[in-house]
Structure 1
Amino acid sequence: MPGQVGAVSSEREGLLAYLAQMRYVVRLTAYGLTPDQLRATPSASPLSVAGLIKHCASTEENWIDTVRREPREIDYNAYEANFRLADGETIEDVFADYDRIAAKTEKTIAAIEDLSQDVPVDHSVPWNPKDIDNWSVRWVLLHLIQETARHAGHADVIRETIDGGTAYPLMAAAESWPESPWMKPWKPASA
């Protein structure tokens, strides 16, 4: 996938393309990491690269289920578990789940005629405004882009702290871009 979203011909196509791009860049932060590095929490927070990717997937599914009027009961006591790999869980498991969720999002949005369709606001959480009752599907997609991009930034910092890998060199390595005077694909420290 290129480093930039390509030309878009409609609002829906643009929103879905930018969401797909953000999914890609957050996933890219895991490129080349060992299982221990994927679980590493090298900053002051308990965040890890794998945990952030898992959280992005779960968040997207929760929002799309809300759009579909099939909200899942969220166990807020287990919220932190959403930010880390469970025992025996692998990044491949997380990626497979994220792929399933992305396909569900694409199918759901394709079936919605009007992006202004109402999506109920969850008033049980303190961060949602109490003075509105509905978002729109458009708002949900913009929010998912924002949420995924925010966490991609967190994952970028964690990744760089682990081994110095940054976004474009990682993308160059993952996509086999040729080395140039201004872009050197990432290589593991042992290479």
Structure 2
Amino acid sequence: MPGQVGAFSNEREGLLAYLAQMRYVLRLTAYGLTPEQLRAAPTASPLTIGGLIKHCASTEASWIDTVRREPRPVDYQAYADNFRLADGESIEDVLAHYERVAERTEKTIAEIADLGQDVPVDHSVPWNPKDIDNWSVRWVLLHLIQETARHAGHADIIREAVDGGTAYPIMAAAENWPDSPWMQKWQPSGEQRG
């Protein structure tokens, strides 16, 4: 996937394209890391790259459940646990789950005729406003883009603290872009350029 969202012909396509792009750049922060590095919290925050990817997958799944009017009760312990990889949980499992979540999102949104369709506000959680009763599907998609982008930024900072890797060199390595005088592909520490 390129570093920028391509052209799109309508609002629905654009919202889904930007959400897909944010998922992609978040997933890239895990590229080439060891299981230990995926669990590392090298900043003042307890956040980890693996945990952020897991959280974004869980959050998107929950919002799509709400759009489909199949909401699950909020389990605050599960919410806290989805910010870290569990013992024995691999990044491959988390990324496969995230892919299934993305496919379900795409399918759900394709089945909705009007992006203005009401989505009920969950008043049981403290972060939702009490003075409105409904979001729209459009609002949910914009929120998912915002949520994923925010956490992709967190993951970028963590990644740089883990091994010095930054977004475009990592993308260049993942997509095998040719090296240029102004950008070289990320390589694991200790590897020499040939």
Same fold (TM over 0.5): yes
Name the aligned partner's letter for residue 62 of structure 1: S
Measured in 1, the distance between the counterparts of 2:185 and 2:74 equals 40
C-alpha deviations, 1:23-54, integer Å up to 9, x for none? 00000000000000000011111100000000
Q: Aligned residue for 1:13?
A: 13
Q: Tell me by how many angstroms 1:60 deviates.
A: 0.2
- Superposed, 1:27-106 pairs within 5 Å as 27-106=27-106
**Structure 2 unaligned residues grouped into runs of 5+:** none
**Structure 1 unaligned residues grouped into runs of 5+:** none
Dislocated runs of 4+, deviation >2 Å: none
C-alpha deviations, 1:73-112, integer Å up to 9, x for none? 2211332211001111000000010000000000000000
1:152 aligns with 2:148: no
1:187 aligns with 2:187: yes
Number of residue pairs aligned between Structure 1 and Structure 2: 191
Measured in 1, the distance between the counterparts of 2:172 and 2:5 equals 16
Task: Tell me how large the CA RMSD over aligned residues is.
Answer: 0.6
Measured in 2, the distance between the counterparts of 1:55 and 1:146 equals 14
1:2 aligns with 2:2: yes
Instruction: Name the % identity.
Output: 80
